[in-house]
Amino acid sequence: MYRPDGFFKDGTKTLIMAPPISKELILDAAESVVREVGATHMTLEAVAERAGISKGGLLYNFPNKDALLQAMINRMMEALEAARGRAREHLGNKDADELTVEIQMLADLDAAESCRGATFLAVMANQPDLMIPFHESISQRCSKDLLVSECSHQAAVVYLAAMGMHLAKLLSIPLLTAERRAKIYSDLLDQAKQMREN
């Protein structure tokens, strides 16, 4: 018979299982480590310590560093797709062209500072080959959705301007104030609209 003190009547102790470790908690910890000490210092030991778990607990969820980095990339790509969905809602038009959606997404990410830039830095520093699916995704998106209008050259200039601003922010290059970035994003959205209407 079980007693509240954790012992059975015969004196044996019950086995209390530790609660499962959240993979999201570990991924959050990995991003936190990268932001604070840099991508090259993202070790499994540092991530486990930041997450408040043993290294064994981390390895149970991610058997090696590459698996952790891959999970970080997958989560980043999912977050970007979710951000595109929010951008479409922000625009209030499901039929908004994809160039406008992309610019709005980048503007919103910058305003909310919610892009997982730490992931980008960690993977580039540790295992750049893992970025290949991300690169292919962007390339396919550009060729299929973003740069397909008759104004494809102008669309490329607008898109690259938005992407350049976003990457500068991600890399903490202090080129523009938040107010000026917001104004430039607004101008780029106006240019995308003009291309759509022409």
Q: Report pLDDT for 7.
A: 47
C-beta separation of 185 from 158 below 8 A:
no
In a domain, 182, yes or no: yes
Judge if 100 and 173 occupy the same domain.
yes
> How many domains does the chain fold into?
2
Q: Which amino acid is at 173?
A: I
**Which domain, by its residues, includes 59?**
19-63
Domain-embedded: residue 70 = no
Q: Please write the tens of the pLDDT for every residue from 139-192.
A: 888 877 777 666 788 888 999 999 999 888 887 788 889 899 999 999 999 998
Query: Does one domain contain both 137 and 163?
Result: yes
Same domain, 54 and 89: no
Is 171 inside any structural domain? yes
Residue 1 lies in a domain: no
Q: Residue 186 and residue 180: Cα distance in Å, rounded?
A: 10
pLDDT in tens, 45-92: 999 999 999 999 999 999 999 999 889 888 888 888 899 899 988 888
Residues 87 and 43 in one domain: no
Confidence of residue 2 (pLDDT cuts 50, 70, 90): very low
